[in-house]
Chains A and B, each alone.
Chain A
Amino acid sequence: MNLYAVKAIYLFEMARTWRTLFQSIVSPVISTSLYFVVFGAAIGSRISEIGGISYGSFIVPGLIMLSILMNSVSNASFSIYFPKFTGTVYELMSAPISSFEIILGYVGAAATKSIILGLIILATAGLFVPLQIAHPFWMLLFLVLTAVSFSLLGFIIGIWADNFEKLQIVPLLIVTPLVFLGGSFYSIDMLPPIWQKITLFNPALYLISGFRWSFYEINDVGVGLSLAMVLLFLGLCVATVWWIFKTGYRVKS
């Protein structure tokens, strides 16, 4: 195992985060905080409690998930797409490093950034709305699994994309709508029955539901099912990345 290479990639990527601190950390924290101010403090005070939880507190897990999903995908996709775009990927391909080690470095760094971001947003939310975390271990588990899974998805998108537009399509046109419609701002009990059924096909629902359960012990679907879905998604991403490196898809000619 080329641990020096894994460490080099990881530190290189993390250094990029500190260099672009405002864009990487400050900006998503501020934009998520605006949700807390608007939906938590302002509009939220006029919305009735959901499952015995104030609306401002209710939306915190969903907003953290939104931020983690978006940032995991964009960080990981950019980190591998940019070397392809500039041509520096030649170095990665000619280095004595396995596919697994490449993924460990890039996905590890992208997931770390997302987890740090999620924890900062959580701390920031505490300034605006009352918070409780009933199951800290499960909260961290969902946080880590989601960050890793979606960083893998981002890595796949970064490999697949051959222009900046494609890089943006999946986060903006797929991930964001799924999170918004996956129960970030409401419980699916509040939807008409037909939409409740349709929402069950939305993978983000399971992530948000499980994550919210770890905070307030309220959930739209069973926790076991949420965990199974996260693990299934993780497995699909791992299999896709394995296939990419096995075939050299969009990496090697």
Chain B
Amino acid sequence: MKNLIEITNLSKTYASGFQALKGVNLNISQGEILALLGPNGAGKTTLISTVCGIVNPSGGSVTVDGFDIIRDYRKTRSLIGLVPQELTTDAFETVWATVTFSRGLFGKSANPAYIEKVLKDLSLWDKKDSMIMALSGGMKRRVLIAKALSHEPSILFLDEPTAGVDVELRKDMWNVVRALQDTGVTIILTTHYIEEAEAIADRVGVIHNGEIILIENKSELMSKLGKKRMILDLTKAVNSIPPTLDKFGLDLSDDGMQLTYTYDTQAERTGITTLLSTLHSAGISFNDLNTTQSSLEDIFVNLVRDAS
């Protein structure tokens, strides 16, 4: 798949001296959903804002579909739709008027049929004549998405699209994002919610202190960095872990009824067989066993902690 966006050595230092981006390199393929994870102040919004033309870069370059974002700004910006983090909408306009305005602003001739389709796809059609100030937060978020899609962009940036949105609406929004991907739109979203990245992203990037510290296919990331835990339910409580089991780094539950063994799925030897035979030799028996995979959240927390 060809790279639709190529970010090379991108840096941004604000007038205050704060270095928000430190030589970011990132390629984004056509048609993918990329989730950018990162704590507050990591540089996610600065990165998006720079690609969209809102923030001037201090160094490096960005191309969109082969066009430079500064030299060919008309071409690149017409390919991009942006849904900002804040609910920044007009208050007194109707939904129809504000979405129609956005289409014109991005250089497209009026197309009421297309606007109607966008509003219907986003369940906004029955609100088309409502003033935006009368809408709920979730509906306003949809209006922002409709505005971003009004000029038929091939790239959509979603800056924390489900921040402050209830669970049901968040899942609705994920369905919208997946449906957009099906139509060929490339989607880049920033999020604090690990489950969001886990649920909809094809690739996950982690940005921290203005640097991309990891960029990986989600499934590969999960298997590469994922740790598994094996939990053994003991038949009778033990007071302490016998010294012969020290090398396994087991955790004993407070009630002495559960042993937890953490192992690396990618390791040559997981140590499970040896552990089970050592447990047998130590006279510790169990009546149940289950394993759990570490979540993207665990991976993210570990990465950011290590980077710090």
**Interfacial residues, chain A to chain B (CB-CB below 8 A):** 2, 4-5, 7-9, 11-12, 15-16, 19, 86-88, 90-98, 248, 252-253
Contacts and interface: CB of A to CB of B under 8 A. Distances in A.
A90 B76 CA distance: 16
Given A2-B107, A86-B89, A96-B74, 20 more contacts: A4-B104, A8-B103, A12-B101, A15-B97, A86-B91, A87-B86, A88-B88, A90-B82, A90-B84, A93-B52, A93-B53, A94-B53, A94-B80, A95-B105, A95-B106, A96-B77, A97-B74, A97-B105, A248-B56, A253-B14
Interface residues of B, number: 34
B88 A4 contact: no
A96 B73 contact: yes
B240 interface: no
Contacts of B107: 2, 4-5, 95-97
A18 to B, nearest CB: 12
A91 B15 contact: no
B102 A91 contact: yes
Nearest to B75: A96
29 contacts: A4-B104, A5-B107, A8-B105, A9-B105, A11-B104, A16-B92, A86-B91, A87-B84, A87-B86, A88-B88, A91-B82, A91-B102, A92-B105, A94-B52, A94-B53, A94-B54, A94-B82, A95-B105, A95-B106, A96-B73, A96-B74, A96-B75, A96-B78, A96-B106, A96-B107, A97-B107, A98-B74, A253-B14, A253-B56
B54 A252 contact: yes
Contacts, number: 76
A86 B74 CA distance: 25
Contacts of A86: 88-91
Contacts of B14: 253
A86 B15 CA distance: 23
B264 to A, nearest CB: 43
Contacts of B136: none
Contact of A91 (B73, B78, B105, B108): B105
Interface string B211-223: 0000000000000
Contact of A4 (B75, B91, B108, B147): B108
Interface string B48-63: 0000111110000000
Contacts of A97: 74, 105, 107
Contacts of A5: 104-107
A178 B92 CA distance: 34
Contacts of B77: 94-96
B40 interface: no
Contact of A90 (B54, B56, B106): B54
Nearest to B55: A253
B45 to A, nearest CB: 11
Interface string B89-128: 1111000010011111111110000000000000000000
A94 B77 CA distance: 6
Contacts of B90: 86, 88
Contacts of B56: 248, 252-253
Nearest to B56: A252
Contacts of A88: 88-90
B29 to A, nearest CB: 22
B270 to A, nearest CB: 49
Nearest to B14: A253
A97 B108 CA distance: 12
A36 B241 CA distance: 98
Most chain B beta carbons < 10 A, residue from A5, A7, A8, A97: A8
A196 B276 CA distance: 105
Contact of B88 (A7, A12, A87, A248): A87
Nearest to B48: A94
Interface in B24-80: 52-56, 73-78, 80
A95 B101 CA distance: 12
Most chain A beta carbons < 10 A, residue from B76, B86, B89, B90: B90
A195 B80 CA distance: 59
A93 to B, nearest CB: 5
A8 B147 CA distance: 13
B251 to A, nearest CB: 48
A248 B102 CA distance: 22
A50 B180 CA distance: 72
Most chain B beta carbons < 10 A, residue from A19, A87, A248, A253: A253
Contacts of A94: 52-54, 77, 80, 82
A96 B53 CA distance: 9
A94 to B, nearest CB: 4
